[in-house]
Chains A and B, each alone.
Chain A
Amino acid sequence: MSTRSEAIGKPSTSRRTKDTSFRVALLACVGISVLLLGVLLVDIVSDGAARLNLDFITSFSSISADQSGIQAALWGTIWIMGVCAIFIVPVGVATAIYLEEYADATRWYNRLIEVNIQNLAAVPSIVYGILGLAFLVRGPLSLGPVVLAGGLTLALLVLPVVIIAGREAIRAVPPSIREGSMALGATQWQTIWKQVLPAAIPGVATGVILALSRAIGETAPLIVVGAATFIAFNPDGLGADFTAMPIQIFDWISRPSNDVNDYRPLAAAGILLLMILLLAMNSVAIWLRNRYEQKW
């Protein structure tokens, strides 16, 4: 034991070396992932930026690469995202309310639901595609490979995400607000509808947007469901055939390119457009969260 009066020493050189090298190692890991992303981005921009213009957005798919555009796929994506949003908001929020406000967590069936939702969020998307094919496109509902089937399939896929985000938003509303409301003679439903939900809306909205931004890039389930790859018209309803942006991109990439018809710039431009949409959606989510989030 050293005496108390001894001065507190500097850290040893070996400890400082360890500290520094660990920091450098972490930084290197960050660098690798950022670098990879950067290379991808630069590559895509250099390939596709020239094709990303108004003509690209307003033209339909064509055999001729020069005349091809993404309009049908863009509208297809908007349609299925719309269907998806209309389905996941009420169902997701209602489930979140049930699990947070009503469900008795000590009951085995509520715990089972909870565990299942957590697991469903991790199920590969193609499984949802198969589910959609078996139950929506064919089987009991037999909708055919249409907008409604595509939208609902993606809704099933991202529903767990919405439920989990919704539960977190509802849980973030402090119990004292519920108590304050109940103590005034409000019923549980009035308390949820007029106090808890309004306070949770920013969190719920953020969750919904993030869920949609996951759905917008999904390709596999839509391929399984049977989205068309070559369509020269916009969907005109829930029962219309459709294609979506990731599918269109996939189609362009998989076509053989030659000097006459080079589809690769088209694919790159499609990816750019998809990324712009994604970025816009995530920006809205971040803005919503910062603007309306309640500090308790």
Chain B
Amino acid sequence: MPERVTEPQDKREPETERGLSQRIGVRSDAASSGAPALDGAPRAKRQAREAIFTLEEVQVSYGPKPAVRGVSFDIGMHEITALIGPSGCGKSTLIRVLNRMNDLIPGARVEGKVFYHGQDLYGSDVDAVEVRKRIGMVFQKPNPFPKSIYDNIAFGPRVLSMKGDMDEIVERALQQGALWEEVKDRLKTNAFGMSGGQQQRLCIARCLAVSPDVILMDEPCSALDPISTGKIEDLMMELKQQYSIVIVTHNMQQAARVSDKTAFFTVELDDEEHRSGRVVEFDDTDKIFTNPSDSRTEAYVTGKVG
């Protein structure tokens, strides 16, 4: 892995005109230097090499006009990166760029560069199915399959022909998803009988069962009550040890609570009143919420607009 991650960094260095992500890189190094990385190495040293995604001037269009444009930042490994902003600012569109879910929407077009471990995610030799094996996704509304709890978890490993004992895989995934104790006695019952919060944790566990590298969460708690939301946030903090997480959220407190980095998006109107999203600021979550550089970020996170 390390030899692959160096690549986007090399690519990044000479492009000084992209001021935003450059500045971000420097700032985040300094800010998070205290946090120890998993292997015990000081974070500051590894930070610059730990980007799992590098976005360069990404633009997504569903028609003639872009829905979101000019997005450039790095998403760090073993971090939770939150995408916040008002409705229609393109956060959900952007998160779907990261596992090529936009491929499924006819007419969706992605421009710019997205590097995943240094590899161009939209390169002609990249298989979108392979991408989604490694980059899992949890959706806004819990979407369990109309099958048993067991089969929901086992579906992924089965279609990917994963080796190993299926019972073990299912148990491990449910434990990681903090759901095992609640459902171990009713694995064969239909997942539709679970509560919304349990369904969403099932969807997270289902995603974990295929051992992804990254988990994308598109407003995972928007349909849940505060208690279920708290459970999922706790779970995210756990999962961060092993996975990199990108979360879209409407809930600023949630972003503040769980994330390490935050990207604030806003909606801009062009001359023809066409709305498109843009990144205003990307920085450490602490900084975004306490001392943002941009007045628009401040207005949003303090609740003056929104």
Contact = CB atoms under 8 A, between A and B. Distances in A.
A184 B139 contact: no
Listed from nearest, the 5 A-B pairs whose CB atoms lie closest are: A185-B133, A176-B143, A183-B137, A184-B156, A180-B143
B194 to A, nearest CB: 15
A181 interface: yes
B126 interface: no
B85 interface: no
Given A179-B143, A180-B139, A186 B159 contact: yes
A179 B136 contact: no
B250 interface: no
Interface string A75-92: 000000000000000000
Interface in A177-198: 177-187, 190, 194-195, 198
A179 to B, nearest CB: 6
Contact of B106 (A106, A179, A184, A294): A106
B207 A181 contact: no
Most buried by B among A104, A176, A177, A178: A176
A178 B146 CA distance: 12
Given A106-B106, A185-B129, A179 B101 contact: yes
A76 B130 CA distance: 52
Nearest to B134: A185
Contacts of A106: 106
Contacts of A183: 99, 101, 132, 136-137, 139, 207
Contact of B130 (A180, A185, A195, A198): A185
Contacts of A222: none
B218 to A, nearest CB: 10
B152 to A, nearest CB: 9
7 contacts: A179-B137, A180-B139, A180-B143, A183-B101, A184-B207, A185-B159, A198-B146
Contacts of B141: 176
A189 to B, nearest CB: 10
Q: Of residues A178, A185, A294, which shows the largest number of chain B Cβ atoms within 10 Å of its Cβ?
A: A185
A186 B156 contact: yes
A176 B139 contact: yes
Contacts of A296: 146
B156 A185 contact: yes
Interface string B94-116: 00000101001010000000000
B160 interface: yes
Max chain B Cβ within 10 angstroms of own Cβ: one of A104, A181, A184, A199: A184
A181 B136 CA distance: 10
Interface residues of B, number: 26
Interface in A249-296: 294-296
Nearest to B160: A185
A232 B130 CA distance: 63
Interface of B: 99, 101, 104, 106, 129-130, 132-134, 136-137, 139, 141, 143-146, 155-156, 159-160, 192, 203, 206-207, 210
Contacts of A184: 132-133, 136, 155-156, 159-160, 206-207, 210
B214 to A, nearest CB: 12
A159 to B, nearest CB: 27
B299 to A, nearest CB: 34
Contacts of A199: 146
Given A180-B145, A184-B133, A185-B132, 19 more contacts: A106-B106, A176-B141, A176-B143, A177-B145, A177-B146, A179-B137, A180-B203, A181-B155, A181-B159, A182-B104, A183-B101, A183-B139, A183-B207, A185-B130, A185-B159, A186-B156, A194-B159, A198-B146, A199-B146
B106 A104 contact: yes
Interface string A7-33: 000000000000000000000000000
Contacts of B192: 295
B223 to A, nearest CB: 12
A187 B160 CA distance: 9
Nearest to B129: A187
Contact of A190 (B99, B144, B159, B210): B159
Nearest to B99: A183
Contacts of B156: 184-186
Interface string A22-58: 0000000000000000000000000000000000000
Contacts of B146: 177, 198-199, 294, 296
A111 B141 CA distance: 32
B74 to A, nearest CB: 23
